[in-house]
Structure 1
Amino acid sequence: MSTGQEQRAIRCLVAKVGLDGHDRGAHVIARAFRDAGFEVIYSGLHRAPEEIVQAAVQEDVDVLGISILSGAHNTLVPKVIEGLKSYGAFEDTLILVGGIIPDEDRSDLKAAGVAEVFGPGTPMSETIDFVREHVDR
């Protein structure tokens, strides 16, 4: 019997921004998110910040996971966040960053609006649990 109150699946965009061509981690997290029951969209490689913003807005995602290994996180991630703000989508989007992020850069990313930074070796269950606990539904 349906109550009419069924929640839709958590919608996630896993994004590769900039010239970073390494996407194994993005594929792994996308698969883990799918296996956890999330709806997952993968951006593909070499996306500009504006393309990521457009995809996140058009797909009405709950979570934007940015995978970045290029070292350009302090430049590219804030551009994505500013783009989301310009569309009024920042407040409704949980932003995660995964990849090789030096410890000294994590606080700047969080100050810019990133909810959490996940490095290599983070258990998938930790990331999935974080999403479930922090997505505003």
Structure 2
Amino acid sequence: MKKLLLLSLTFFALNAFAQSKQDRQIILNILDKQTKAWNDGDVSNFMKGYWESDSLMYIGKGGIKYGYEGTLASYRKNYPDKASMGTLKFDILHVNFLAKNTCLVVGKWHLARPEKGDIGGHFSLIWKKIKGKWQIIADHSS
């Protein structure tokens, strides 16, 4: 009985690790696509990593914004052209799965903007797997 229990626990632990490893790569791929979209000046495609919901939460220096459309409008207002957007680079510091379908990603962001001056900071993203798709449900960038 102990062997069966140990074998079962080992199987579930390995399966959970494999799932997290695969999901980690999916999330990192989405962040790569977002970076490419941003660097192409395409805010709409950048936003594809976010949850299209009124419950999306974005926390920045201006406070809390709710909703996908409000977040998109804010990005368009604050980054109206390619010079404002600059070239985005993410440095991922932590990818932590809090539960099977929830992940916290912490990192640094940097915008190289020769005409307007470079800016950067840190971010934390809460990801949730919704209907089989990883999406950012909360973004805190400073």
Q: Same fold (TM over 0.5)?
A: no
Higher strand share: 2
Place the TM-score, normalised by the shorter chain, in its bin: under 0.3
Q: Which has the higher contact order (CA 8 A, sep 6+)?
A: 1
TM-score by length of 2: 0.24
Which one has a bigger Cα radius of gyration?
2
